[in-house]
Amino acid sequence: MIFRGKKLPGAVDQFEKAVRAQDPAASERAFAQLHRAVGKAGAVESREAGPRLAALLGDVPPGPRATVAVLVGACVERGADPVACAPGILAGATEAFAVAGDFCARWTDTGGGELPDPDEEHTEEIAARVGHELAVGWFSLPEWEMAAVAVLGTASVRRTAERKSELLAGVERVAEASGQAFKCLTYALRVLDDEPLVVLHRESGTGFALRMSGIGDNFQLHTLLAGVLIGGKHVPGEAPSAREIAVCRDAAGTAPTAGAFNLVGADGSWIFNEGAPSDIAVVDGVRLLVLDPSPYRRSWDAGRFFPGMHGDLVLERVLGAEEAGGWFGEVAPDKGWARS
């Protein structure tokens, strides 16, 4: 039997007291106790502990701060309020990526070469080369990514977070400088909610106004589009099964599926399944997507890039012929991919 909680509130009390007192020795002891207690805690203790620990993050030294953020993320996954926990985590992640950007610049200035793997332990040699603070920022990135993704899984956080754009800019800066993808965090920050989407089905000349939320990647979007449009008898084709659609919305697991369309932007460029809905360009204030025949058979496991994030795609209305024709006037001609 796994022991569940009752020690976590006391561990949070001791850690909070030590941090507020700026007592390094007591903080280290309390931190070790806290780490063990979170690992054994249940939902009730986690719900209480998450916001309290999140509020402490700004006072925790940079070294252990990222680990505490991960503990907060674990509490969120067990039921702690993500809206209450998000500000501390996103502020810490934003600062860490800003420091990591300076780390990359300093690394280049001191001779360059291959950057160290942020998943590895940092060494005294690296700290001596770039400075301890910059090294801590760099090597804390995997933990900050994990913690930030935990809170960004909730739509209310994504809609209200004040530092999302700043954090995304920092992540993209570091990714460009380092070649590290930080894909989970990048995709989480780019998730769209209540986002209008106009979809044109070129073969039938029809158009549709939809609204999407919580869709992590275009594999998920592709399956949901097929479910709504083919399953709803609006366009021809083989509709995905109820199971395939369910795992792209809120059901656990995955299910084999096959592509129904080629996703194309208004300029004629492909919108790859490996990308995200935010790759779809905005035309006249709305994201505009064209569905062409697939040039070859594609198959994958339907599911969600973020298993804990619920996805949704709603058909709001079928466009009239005149309105659809107006939108078709905004897109590049068919390049005949399916026939090449």
Same domain, 106 and 207: no
pLDDT band at 3 (very low <50, low <70, confident <90, very high): very low
Burial class of residue 172 (count of CB atoms within 10 Å of its CB; 0-12, 13-18, 19+): middle
Q: Which amino acid is at 199?
A: V
| SS3 letters across 189-215 | HHCCCCEEEEEEECCCCEEEEEEEECC
What span, in angstroms and rounded, lies between the C-alpha atoms of 69 and 290?
41
Same domain, yes or no: 103 and 249? no
Same domain for 35 and 104, yes or no, is yes
pLDDT of residue 2: 35
2 in any annotated domain: no
Q: Are residues 123 and 232 in the same domain?
A: no
The CA dihedral of 176, 179, 184, 189, to the nearest 10 degrees, is: 0
Last residue of a domain, one of 190, 205, 235: 190
Look up the domain containing 236 and give its range.
195-339
Task: Kindly state whether residues 152 and 252 are assigned to the same domain.
Answer: no
Domain end point (choices 190, 208, 233): 190
pLDDT tens digits for range 290-330: 999 998 889 999 999 999 999 999 999 999 999 999 999 99
Pair (42, 85) in one structural domain:
yes
Which pLDDT band, with edges at 50, 70 and 90, does 33 fall under?
very high
pLDDT at res. 314: 98
One-letter amino acid for residue 82 of the chain: P
Residue position matching structure tokens 């609204």: 211
Average pLDDT for the chain = 93
**Same domain for 139 and 69:** yes
pLDDT of 340 reads 44
- pLDDT tens, position by position, 276-291: 999 999 999 999 999 9
Q: According to the model, what pLDDT value does residue 162 have?
A: 84
User: Residue 1 domain-assigned?
Assistant: no
Q: Do 76 and 214 have their domain in common? A: no
* 277 in the same domain as 207: yes
Q: Are residues 177 and 139 in the same domain?
A: yes
Contacting residues for 274 by C-beta, under 8 A, at least 6 apart: 217, 218, 219
Please name the residues in contact with 279: beta carbons below 8 A apart, sequence gap of 6 or more: 218, 265, 271, 272
The pLDDT of residue 171: 97
Same domain, 106 and 151: yes
pTM: 0.91
Q: Is residue 137 part of a domain?
A: yes
Tokens of 97: 């990526």
Share of the chain above pLDDT 90, in %: 87
pLDDT in tens, 62-115: 889 999 999 999 999 999 999 999 999 999 999 999 999 999 999 999 998 999
Confidence band for 174, pLDDT divided at 50, 70 and 90: very high
Specify the number of domains making up the chain.
2
Do 164 and 204 lie in a common domain? no
